[in-house]
Structure 1
Amino acid sequence: LNGGQQSSPASIGIKLFMAKRLLQPTKRQKLLEKRKRHRELFNNLYEAAGGGPQATAFYDKLVAAKEAQMKANKLVLESLPEEVIEKLEGFPPGAYVRLMFKGMPYQFIERFNPNQPLVAGGIPSAEESNGFIQIRFRTHRWLKHVLRSNDPATVSIGWRRYQTVCVFSKEEHNLRNRYLKYSLPHEHCLATLYGPLVPAKTGVVFFVNSAWRPPSDTTEGLIKAALTNPSVSQPGDFRATFEAPIRKSDLVFLRTFVAVELPKYCNPVPNRLCPIDGDGDTQGQGWRLLRTLTELRREKGIKAPSNSDSVYKDIHRPVHVPTPLYVSTKLVAQLPFAQKPKPTRREARAMVGGDPVRAALFTELPAPVRSVSDHPEGETRADLLDRLRQLHADFKERQRKKMAQRVGKHKKQISKAEAQKAANLRKKRKDYFAKHGKKADKNKSD
């Protein structure tokens, strides 16, 4: 009973379902409860790990332990004498020391140059072994010539100075290094040399003082016949296929890659043992540089070997006579008249050879020839044709003049209609703006 009214069981069930649904939490309330539980779990784990506001982080603990150990070590070292501290910690920065070297040659002391002070340093264990070093190289702008591969050069890298043999190359797009006979004059290239290993991005200086010969060697490559017996083939022989037949006069460019053997040569520069300038012949008594092949040949009077394949020769080529193009008669008959061959009369006579069909295909139309006859009837016929042609020409001229008059009259009519149309458009625009302008002024005054 509700207010003296009796409710049905169905209405009571609906009301209970609605009340139960209103008491259930919404989706947003469930999400907020989930976030709250996760936040409480994270706080509990953080406090348990020692990262709370009352506890000290693990890093802070390590720093505090390290500082305590340093204070204890400082207290202990302050109580020890200086000799013991130097053995334990070494010499402090800025201290004056005396170095003693064993096994030093006597020339180092006798030929010491005070104008060139010495700098003592240490070399890591990783830089004591030798290996190949790749350098990004570029010649100096003031150098008047280029360097040649496999020629000796004095290099200054880090703490060392030595003479070595370098090979120049250039990295291509396919990540292969192409061998260069000479260094690039105005561009960076790669130089590979053998010597003590150094860290990356170490500065390098090249000292070159040798003779130079301009790059004039040119070798003509020839295409050899492919060997049919593989058992007698030599290194470098290959078999090539082409899309189209080639001739002996064609030029074929072959781009291949072959492994280049790098020389292992490293000669340290003991210039501190050489006599000072003015005291003796440094080149004869002290360290001697590796000489280039050009210097050795000049000293011994040996000429460079002449290769017959490398000598420039006069090229004598036969006169190329192109093969005449032959077009079949059927194809010529299918071509339009503008593209048909137009031979001369002599060529046409030679081509047709008395054949009337070929004569009709290859020869031009004969020009109209006025008949010449002694009979008066022929002259009358020719005069009649001339008068007919003149009448036809006059008729065409009258037609052309009439057409020009019609075109001029039509253009005048079009221009007059366009002018009338433009005047009407201006009048309509004037009336429209006058009418709507008064309405706008009236609205503004209101």
Structure 2
Amino acid sequence: MDEKDGGKFHRGQPNEVGLIDKMKEEIELRKQMNVAELNDLDEITRLEIEGFRTGTYLRLEIHGVPFEMVEYFDPCHPVLVGGISLGEENVGYMQARLKRHRWHKKVLKTRDPIIVSIGWRRFQTTPVYSIEDRNGRYRMLKYTPEHMHCLATFWGPLAPPQTGVVAVQNLSNKQASFRITATAVVLEFNHEAKIKKKIKLVGYPCKIFKKTALIKDMFTSDLEVAQCEGKEVRTVSGIRGQVKKAAKEEIGNQPKRKGGQPREGIARCTFEDRILMSDIVFMRGWADVEIPCFYNPLTTALQPRDKTWLGMKTVAELRREHNFSIPVNKDSLYKPIERRPRKFNPLVIPKSLQAALPFESKPKDIPNRKRPLLENRRAVVMEPHERKVHALVQHLQLIRNEKMKKRKLKDEKKKKEIEAERAKDEQLTRKRQREERRERYREQDKLKKKIRRHSEA
């Protein structure tokens, strides 16, 4: 930085200012030279070289104009003449960032016709609304979101990016509410639009082999199964799986009649655990959405001014005119879920296995059987020798039980004597400890008094 005349400036600044002034002077000098050269030419030659100058009145002659435009021409509505670039003459898909106008009360529905005004053009089209996911996928929206932007893709004459768009539902001037439905800006135009929508296929198991199962009613042909090989499936209970391939004829899709065609669309899937026949299998996927190639230019100049231009009607308007009710899908209705309580058979562990189990795993709260086993109900008739042996065993058990009872009483008496003696010893011990503490505290008190007398002396 250099200081000059009390101010600060960059070293390269004077050179830059001088260069700009020099270029301006060169442009002005060249312009004056061109004007001087054109002044020497006649009017026709100058018009061919320079063109029509600003402020010149012209008369345009247009051929191939429909007679309705001349017949219904109204001088109160002048015709404006504009030009379009070469790229705007083509037709294709355009993607715009759209937002419903906050004064418009209703949301916009996908594929409902709207009238858009883009640049010099006005036409009716059927947009498809979408939103971009985190992974870059464009997911279709059925309706425009509230208080936020979305993407609108439609077919029509191309317009350059950053072109403003205004959308209306109809051109009637008798509309009581606000007429502008949405505003948008063109982002890009291309020849293909990749918009996806989420689908969910539902199937049911028809045969189960351990962790492999055959799923029916999910696909309609083996070709669809081949297209979805490797896709993830899931049951209602949360068991994950994978589509392998179409089931062979000898496994689960034999024809019902002899000599008939085998049933197609049965897929073989593997799961991380065994599934049940009552399970429902889902597969979530994404399907391409087709955008209608429709646009209808407005021909308001070819009809009387007091007549409103009518284009394609919305589905709601057609239903209202023909008094059709809205179709209701029964599967989409919310209804209470009524599940039958499932009854599981009790777990039966063989006695041979119960002996080998740890104590925590052994069954403890097993209810008694309502009907005893056959072995318990069968009458047993003993022989005379068996009866003598049985009586002898009973006498021996009685003697052993009496001995155990006497031994138990003797042990309890001895235990009580030991506890009484232990309580007496503990009482004497506590008394001796109390006397020892008293003697120790007395000696400490005498020592403190002696130290105090010496310190005072």
TM-score, normalised relative to structure 1: 0.52
Task: Say whether 1:202 aligns with 2:178.
Answer: no
CA contact (8 A) 1:136 1:188 kept: yes
The one of 320, 339, 359 aligned to 1:298: 320
CA distance in 2, matches of 1:219, 1:376: 82
Matched position secondary structure for 2:285: coil
346 and 307 in structure 1: CA distance in 2 versus 1, 3 angstrom threshold = closer
Unaligned runs of 5+ in 1: 1-61, 211-217, 351-370, 407-446
Q: CA deviation at 1:127?
A: 0.3
Q: Which amino acid aligns with 2:321?
A: E
Alpha-carbon displacement from aligned partner over 1:295-345 (angstroms, at most 9, x marks no partner): 212212233445554555554322134565678546742x7xxx5668459
Matched position secondary structure for 2:320: helix
CA distance in 1, matches of 2:266, 2:149: 34
CA contact (8 A) 1:170 1:177 kept: yes
Task: Say whether 1:320 aligns with 2:331.
Answer: no
CA distance in 1, matches of 2:402, 2:102: 89
296 and 343 in structure 1: CA distance in 2 versus 1, 3 angstrom threshold = same
Alpha-carbon displacement from aligned partner over 1:115-163 (angstroms, at most 9, x marks no partner): x776532111210111111122232334433222221111111211111
Higher relative contact order (CA 8 A, sep 6+): 2
Name the structure 1 match of 2:52.
91
Name the structure 2 match of 1:133.
94
CA distance in 2, matches of 1:193, 1:144: 23
Matched position secondary structure for 1:254: strand
The one of 232, 245, 270 aligned to 2:299: 270
Unaligned runs of 5+ in 2: 1-22, 176-197, 205-214, 229-264, 372-400, 438-457
Name the structure 2 match of 1:222.
202
Name the structure 1 match of 2:85.
124
Aligned-residue CA RMSD (Å): 5.1
CA contact (8 A) 1:163 1:267 kept: yes
Name the structure 2 match of 1:150.
111
Q: CA deviation at 1:203?
A: 1.6
The one of 244, 256, 260 aligned to 2:285: 256
CA contact (8 A) 1:372 1:378 kept: no
64 and 330 in structure 1: CA distance in 2 versus 1, 3 angstrom threshold = farther
Instruction: Within 5 Å, give how 1:171-190 maps onto structure 2.
Output: 171-190=132-151
CA distance in 2, matches of 1:80, 1:395: 144
CA distance in 2, matches of 1:173, 1:205: 28
Name the structure 1 match of 2:246.
none
391 and 316 in structure 1: CA distance in 2 versus 1, 3 angstrom threshold = farther
CA distance in 2, matches of 1:378, 1:232: 82
CA contact (8 A) 1:112 1:272 kept: no
Matched position secondary structure for 1:296: helix
CA contact (8 A) 2:199 2:285 kept: no
CA distance in 1, matches of 2:366, 2:336: 44
Alpha-carbon displacement from aligned partner over 1:15-69 (angstroms, at most 9, x marks no partner): xxxxxxxxxxxxxxxxxxxxxxxxxxxxxxxxxxxxxxxxxxxxxxx99999886
Is the helix fraction higher in 1 or 2? 1
Instruction: Within 5 Å, give how 1:246-395 maps onto structure 2.
Output: 246-247=275-276, 249-250=278-279, 252-276=281-305, 279=306, 282-283=307-308, 287-311=309-333, 314-321=336-343, 329=354, 332-333=357-358, 343-344=364-365, 382-389=412-419
Q: CA deviation at 1:71?
A: 5.3
CA distance in 2, matches of 1:100, 1:168: 42
Greater Rg by CA: 1
Name the structure 1 match of 2:127.
166
Q: CA deviation at 1:289?
A: 2.1
Matched position secondary structure for 1:204: strand
Q: Which amino acid aligns with 1:258?
A: A
